[in-house]
Chain A
Amino acid sequence: MIRFAHVFKSYPNGALALKDVSFAINKGEFVFLTGHSGAGKSTILKMLFAEQRPSSGDVRVANYAVQTMRGDDIPKLRRKLGIVFQDFRLLEDRSASENVAFALEVTGARRDTVPARVMRVLTQVGLAAKARAYPRELSGGEQQRVAIARALVNDPAILVADEPTGNLDERATRGVFQLLREINTSGTIVVMATHDLDLVRQTTYRTIEMREGAVVYDSAADEKPDELS
């Protein structure tokens, strides 16, 4: 589903954001992407949804070759992904359900199917009762759940989460993380960038650690099959 092969990314000023990054993520996996700020996590995530393209190497996501794909195909790729950010990125002047519906409207979903699909995902994230609430009336954890609902509403094959718990307190963090695990259980790939090492240690999920643009650790490459379940 996702494959990076010898990926380099350099910027015009000469800075090297990624150095020879290779890994593959298969259907059903939950993967943590860890490392300090500037280690290259965000660059990898941005390549997943073709916001950035590699300078060299091969990036394949859901059968699209990111380095060579046409601009017209980028929206098609993104419709197969759900993307969640640290700062939620909700529209303040729309209610929770309208924020979720927005993702359907802009992709041209049939109007009569929208309300049912929106309620289904809001129920899935546990916010059916707050469908009419505006973002400012919701807690941070609830806002992130709306954002996750929005990411899920197009039935993505891959959920990309960039520090989804970075702005949340411990309790909300646990709730959002639990939700992501449930989503993964139903077969969706989850790629989650985080520097919350406590969260990483709680589970046996695969972890890819980045440092200065290179992969320094990939638990899938370790020979510890008993820890992978």
Chain B
Amino acid sequence: MNLLFREALLSFRRTPLLSLLSITAIAFSLFTVGLFGLVALNLRQALRGVEERVEVVAFLLRGTAPETITLASQDIASFPEVADVKFVSEDQALVQARRELVEFKDAYRDLQVNPLPASLEIRLKEGFRDAAHVAQVADRVRGFPFVEDVRYGRDWISRLDQLRNMAGVVGLIIGAAFGLIAVVIIGVTIRLTILQRAREIAIMRVVGATNWFVRGPFLLEGALKGVLGGFMALALAFAAYTLFRGAGPLSTLVFFRPLDMVLLVVFGVLLGLLGSLLSVGRHLKEV
């Protein structure tokens, strides 16, 4: 074990520049993934409040019998996507309108007849507040004969979805590109180490070292670079986070949870191991 670490650390001393390059490449890969992850995370956080208000409103035909509405409400409330259903009568709608639409207060006060229809406000459960589910529920509600019209912020919701998905995809693509570069650089570094140590490796084999014993130091080297790259990426991400948080309106930004951070570092280790494994597998046969 001791020997293993000694051998792995030796290569950092022998090729410091290349080692630093590998670590930086891993760090940038993870930083990119992390940065877009943070954007997605914060977007989700910010949208959570908004999303809770995602609802489908069904306007009812005037003169619908209250029993019919009660039955329908129960029916809709039992949809798997639906959190709750609230009946808003014509009078309540007027009161609400007067309260919320202050600009039109006078107009509403002078009315002889209430022009506002009664409605059912349907809130969806968490996890169903995306464009597809909202549209599904709306379609089903539209099927009731006493429903005159169904409204929901279709465009708004789907744009929200797109934005969140795009942040994720862009992050993954750029992160993967950097990840590929990291794997290649690690591979090159390890190839150099193997060539430098060809003699030593040949002797190890002749005296009966197992393949895993010969590979061990190289794999450990890759994994160590992954860990260091992961920490560097976290530091970079934290710096970016602090920078943006300082800018007034973004003071509510959140950072990764501990589990996310661990995952990021683990991902770095995997990148490092992958680079080593590919290179060791190919070049160890040559010596």
Contacts and interface: CB of A to CB of B under 8 A. Distances in A.
Contacts of A187: none
Contacts of A79: 207-208
B213 to A, nearest CB: 6
A75 B202 contact: no
A103 B206 CA distance: 9
Contacts of B208: 75-79, 81, 103, 106-107, 154
A12 interface: no
B206 A89 contact: yes
A89 B204 contact: no
Nearest to A108: B213
Interface in A30-77: 49, 71-72, 75-77
Given A71-B211, A105-B3, A91 B199 contact: yes
Given A89-B199, A91-B199, A91-B200, A107 B206 contact: no
Nearest to A151: B207
B171 to A, nearest CB: 41
B206 A83 contact: yes
Contact of A102 (B202, B207, B210, B211): B207
Q: Most B CB atoms within 10 A — which of A75, A83, A108?
A: A75
Interface residues of A, number: 21
A150 interface: yes
A119 to B, nearest CB: 18
Given A91-B199, A105-B3, A106-B213, A49 B207 contact: no
B203 A75 contact: no
Summarize B's interface: helix, strand, loop or mixed: helix
Nearest to B210: A75
Interface residues of B, number: 15
B197 to A, nearest CB: 10
A99 to B, nearest CB: 9
A157 to B, nearest CB: 13
A103 B200 contact: no
A101 to B, nearest CB: 10
A72 B199 CA distance: 21
A83 B207 CA distance: 8
A106 B202 contact: no
B211 A106 contact: no
Nearest to A89: B203
B210 A91 contact: no
B211 A91 contact: no
Interface string B202-234: 111111111101000000000000000000000
Interface in A88-115: 89, 91, 102-103, 105-108, 111
Given A105-B3, A106-B213, A154 B207 contact: yes
The 8 closest A-B pairs by CB, nearest first: A78-B208, A79-B208, A106-B209, A103-B207, A75-B208, A75-B210, A106-B204, A83-B206
Interface of A: 49, 71-72, 75-79, 81, 83, 89, 91, 102-103, 105-108, 111, 150, 154
Given A75-B205, A78-B208, 10 more contacts: A75-B208, A75-B209, A78-B205, A78-B207, A89-B206, A91-B199, A106-B204, A106-B207, A107-B207, A108-B213
Interface of B: 2-3, 199-200, 202-211, 213
